[in-house]
Amino acid sequence: MSSTAVPAGETQGGAALIDGKAFAAGLRGRVAAAVEKLKAEQGLTPGLAVVLVGEDPASQVYVRSKGKQTLEAGMNSFEHKLDASASQETLLAKVAELNADPAVHGILVQLPLPPQIDSQTVIAAIDPDKDVDGFHVINAGRLMTGGKGAEAPLVPCTPLGCLMLLKDRLGDLSGLNAVVVGRSNIVGKPMAQLLLAESCTVTVAHSRTKDLPAVCRGADILVAAVGRPEMVKGDWVKPGATVIDVGINRIDAGGGKTRLVGDVAFDEAAAVAGAITPVPGGVGPMTIAVLLANTVTAACRQAGIPAPELG
Ligand code: GUN
């Protein structure tokens, strides 16, 4: 049976399903309420600018979805499209223009970028206080050093969404063994930092880890973010563990069809885990909802007013 056959909120093979779709809807509702209050009480309308270079179909879908959800939350949405052949200089000039625009509180340059553009150079050019992706080294450093107040980081959306789901499910995470499989700058590394800040004992595992199944079996919290379809097997999961599957992989389903699967072999893992995120409907819907929340946070900080608690 596929995960999509299980109604949200129900259990499969013993594990509770963590309903990211429902949590994301709730978060978007809290964001919209916060935006309404900011408009009424502060005359402040948060604005998110998204820059898309080229015509990658998946990126176009993401960008359209971000624009739609930004408007639905009552915020201003600014979309900037550049040709696939645009130079790095042109993109840097666009970023500089958005950095200087007071109506823009969040800037997201959609990745991946065409080969003539170095993404690290572009990310470094974004004002860290408008970096709603949380990819700038200043934000990575603030996350690592536990910055508070004016030094609080903007945190990458996907790992922050995973943390929200974990805290909603488990409450206090302190003392738990967390294993993060994957060491990307976008998910694995910030996820590890967030879990460490919650006083978990954190292991970051990756493709070179010796006896990865045994390492995973020690996890009370297992986060899979490797981009390999169904790599994490049922016998890698500690009984009762909470499993967060960040993977979104399209695989051949036979008969000319495809289907989406995560990095976790769902049916096997759900038979052992205490709770698990499905794919689709788990982590995926959280990313844009957290992006909206980060935009509200960024707008409040830029206006010098306290940011609402949205998570
Ligand atoms: N491409 C796919 N996901 C993302 C994301 O979260 N941020 C950016 N900037 N690009 C992406």
CA of 222 to the centre of ligand 1 (A): 23
23 lies in some domain: no
Pocket residue to mutate for ligand 1, from 50, 61, 108, most atoms within 8 A of Cβ: 108
Same domain, 54 and 109: yes
Same domain, 56 and 138: yes
266 lies in some domain: yes
Report pLDDT digits (tens) over 48-63: 999 999 999 999 999 9
- Which pLDDT belongs to residue 9? 56
Distance, in Å, from the CA atom of 264 to the CA atom of 278, rounded to the nearest integer, reads 9
Would you say 131 and 294 are in contact if contact means Cβ atoms under 8 Å apart?
no
Per-residue pLDDT at 3 exceeds 70: no
Task: State the residue range of the domain holding 129.
Answer: 41-153
CA of 133 to the centre of ligand 1 (A): 7
The residue among 34 and 3 whose pLDDT is bigger is 34
pLDDT band at 45 (very low <50, low <70, confident <90, very high): very high
Number of folded domains in the chain?
2
**Helical packing angle, 284-303 and 57-72, nearest 10°:** 50
Q: Which entry of 127, 131, 133, 245 is annotated as an active-site residue?
A: 133
Per-residue pLDDT at 1 exceeds 50: no
Report pLDDT digits (tens) over 166-194: 999 999 999 999 999 999 999 999 999 99
52 lies in some domain: yes
Residue where the block lists tokens 């974004």: 126
DSSP 169-186: HHS--TT-EEEEE---TT
190 lies in some domain: yes
CATH code (residue 190): 3.40.50.720
Same domain, 171 and 267: yes
* Number of other residues whose CB lies within 10 A of the CB of residue 308: 16
Per-residue pLDDT at 12 exceeds 70: no
CA of 110 to the centre of ligand 1 (A): 5
Pocket residue to mutate for ligand 1, from 61, 111, 132, most atoms within 8 A of Cβ: 111
